[in-house]
């Protein structure tokens, strides 16, 4: 990017606001324009990988089962058949809202892999593609004749990304996986949840954090190998991503602590084992008195961070507990479990007559870091996300105005974008099969009548 004189003279904030302007996303080129990929994926892990690449401009073709599509369309509530129709073959069925976040910008076709005609179509698509993403059980596609070993003979430049729970070899290879199982075996749940004194129960993440993380890492693998192929080898590559291994990577120092000292880390709730004060405290009042929404009726929560000795002293002054400032003057004193129980109890006693916003505002007056814990309504209406374009209304070609998340990162010259959120099952059968496989309209109609597509 050659920086014009007017940009050089701007303040840094105005420079960022100008080059990242979300209203001009669609005026700029797409960094992966001209690349093509196949996504034979389901649920979240695999689809998110494909969607990330599609948001960068790759022509990504999602392959689903005929008529009903993949399972994720049916695993969430609010399947509105008129607003988000499933397919033209099943007009009385809808697509669940959980399908939203992981299928942006993709073309949708259908194939029944149990039929030889579908296998042949897959090979013809692979012959004209740069990458393929799949997350069926390890070895399934190889058994069907459309795994990496077979497709690389059709297209030696094909980059093949498999995603799943445990990998294609090892003691756990035959086990299926999904987000919560990956976190359970990967060790995440062992350190996520309540302290023993509060019941000690582990806590699952409501969101599919390991799926979306795994999708991002798999897209990273594809991009890395695309560079290697195009600049070094000229050949494709076979890659796998294990959800369990990915969960282990999140454990940070916990694995090293066990290796060095034999220490088995425990759950520590909404507090922190390395920093104090650095945790979430409960406030005593709801931010929405009179609301009939159960989520808004509950008392709020607020993150407070004051682990530096100077900040901790200011916090004690704020809550008028000078005795705690004298009792725990140094950070090492505050890390002791008994100290944390006493300190956080004092903060929550002070916050008992306040909303989360009031707590944050007072902390700000004392120069302390604080952030109210925001619910989905507060996130959706927050002007920061809307101004920066990571949450926005999209004029979807199929569904009209849709409120959705867009890429959480920004690029000045080749920004990611959401052109459409998703499509009904098989919406692009005619377009893709004619364009890439050379089928005529009558041939496509015959494949549909025989339930190949």
Is 82 a member of any domain?
Answer: yes
Q: What CATH code is carried by the domain that includes residue 334? A: 3.30.1540.10
Specify whether 74 is located in the same domain as 217: yes
- Select from 322, 349, 379 the last residue of a domain: 379
pLDDT of residue 148: 97
pLDDT tens per residue, range 422-434: 999 999 999 999 9
pLDDT of residue 97: 85
Specify whether 22 is located in the same domain as 115: yes
Specify whether 101 is located in the same domain as 222: yes
Specify whether 403 is located in the same domain as 326: no
Residues 6+ away with beta carbon under 8 Å from 60: 36, 37, 38, 39, 50, 51, 53, 54, 105, 106, 107
Query: Which residues span the domain enclosing 345?
Result: 278-379
pTM: 0.92
Specify whether 28 is located in the same domain as 166: yes
- Select from 379, 406, 435 the last residue of a domain: 379
pLDDT of residue 173: 76
Is 11 a member of any domain?
Answer: no
Percent of the chain with pLDDT over 90: 72
Specify whether 84 is located in the same domain as 202: yes
Q: What CATH code is carried by the domain that includes residue 76? A: 3.40.50.10540
Specify whether 375 is located in the same domain as 439: no
Is 298 a member of any domain?
Answer: yes
pLDDT at 80 over 80: no
pLDDT of residue 1: 64
pLDDT tens per residue, range 104-159: 999 999 999 999 999 999 999 999 999 999 999 999 999 999 999 999 999 999 99
Angle, CA of 219, 221 and 226, to the nearest 5°: 95
Specify whether 44 is located in the same domain as 173: yes
Is 230 a member of any domain?
Answer: yes
Is 255 a member of any domain?
Answer: no
Mean pLDDT of 360-389: 94
Residues 6+ away with beta carbon under 8 Å from 285: 299, 300, 353, 354, 355, 358
- Select from 379, 409, 432 the last residue of a domain: 379
Specify whether 226 is located in the same domain as 375: no
Which residue in the block uniquely carries the two structure tokens 């100077």? 310
Is 5 a member of any domain?
Answer: no
Is 283 a member of any domain?
Answer: yes
Specify whether 394 is located in the same domain as 361: no
Specify whether 51 is located in the same domain as 150: yes
Q: Produce one character per residue of 101-115: b if its CB has 16 or more CB atoms within 10 Å, e if not.
A: bbbbbbbbbbbbbeb
Is 172 a member of any domain?
Answer: yes
- How many domains would you assign to the chain? 2
pLDDT of residue 451: 94
Q: Between residues 3 and 279, which one has the greater pLDDT?
A: 279
**Residue 88 is encoded by which pair of tokens?**
């033209």
pLDDT at 77 over 80: no
Specify whether 208 is located in the same domain as 167: yes
* Average pLDDT over the chain, rounded to an integer: 93
């Amino acid at each position: 990017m050659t920086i014009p004189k007017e940009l050089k003279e701007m303040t840094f904030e105005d420079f960022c606001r100008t080059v990242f302007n979300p209203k001009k996303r669609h005026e700029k080129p797409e960094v992966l324009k001209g690349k093509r990929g196949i996504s034979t994926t389901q649920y979240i892990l695999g689809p998110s990988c494909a969607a990330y690449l599609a948001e960068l401009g790759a022509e990504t073709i999602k392959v689903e089962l005929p008529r009903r599509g993949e399972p994720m369309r049916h695993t969430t509530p609010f399947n509105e058949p008129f607003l988000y129709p499933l397919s033209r073959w099943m007009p009385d069925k809808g697509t669940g809202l959980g399908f939203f976040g992981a299928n942006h910008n993709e073309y949708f076709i259908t194939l029944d892999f149990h039929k030889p005609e579908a296998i042949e179509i897959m090979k013809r698509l692979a012959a004209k593609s740069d990458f393929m993403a799949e997350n069926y059980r390890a070895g399934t596609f190889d058994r069907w004749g459309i795994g990496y070993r077979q497709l690389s003979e059709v297209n030696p430049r094909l980059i093949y990304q498999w995603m799943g729970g445990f990998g294609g070899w090892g003691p756990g290879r035959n086990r299926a996986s999904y987000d919560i199982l990956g976190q359970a075996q990967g060790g995440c749940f062992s350190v996520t949840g309540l302290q023993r004194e509060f019941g000690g129960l582990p806590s699952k993440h409501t969101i599919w954090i390991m799926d979306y993380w795994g999708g991002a890492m798999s897209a990273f693998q594809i991009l890395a190998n695309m560079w290697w192929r195009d600049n070094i080898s000229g050949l494709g590559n076979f890659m796998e991503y294990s959800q369990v291994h990915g969960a282990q990577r999140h454990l940070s120092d916990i694995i090293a602590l066990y290796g060095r000292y034999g220490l088995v880390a425990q759950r520590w709730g909404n507090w922190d084992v390395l920093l104090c004060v650095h945790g979430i405290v409960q406030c005593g009042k709801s931010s929405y008195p009179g609301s009939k929404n159960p989520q808004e009726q509950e008392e709020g929560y607020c993150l407070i961070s004051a682990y530096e000795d100077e900040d901790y002293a200011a916090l004690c002054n704020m809550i008028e507990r000078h005795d705690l400032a004298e009792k725990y003057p140094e950070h090492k004193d505050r890390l002791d479990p008994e100290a944390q129980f006493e300190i956080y109890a004092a903060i929550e006693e002070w916050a008992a007559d306040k909303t989360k916003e009031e707590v944050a505002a007072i902390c700000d007056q004392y120069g302390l870091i604080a952030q109210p814990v925001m619910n989905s309504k507060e996130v959706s209406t927050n002007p920061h996300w809307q101004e920066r374009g990571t949450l926005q209304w999209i004029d979807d070609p199929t569904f009209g105005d849709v409120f959705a998340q867009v890429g959480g990162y920004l690029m000045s010259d080749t920004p990611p974008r959401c052109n459409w959120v998703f499509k009904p099952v098989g919406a692009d059968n005619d377009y893709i099969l004619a364009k890439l496989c050379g089928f005529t309209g009558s041939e496509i109609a015959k494949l549909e009548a025989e339930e190949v597509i």
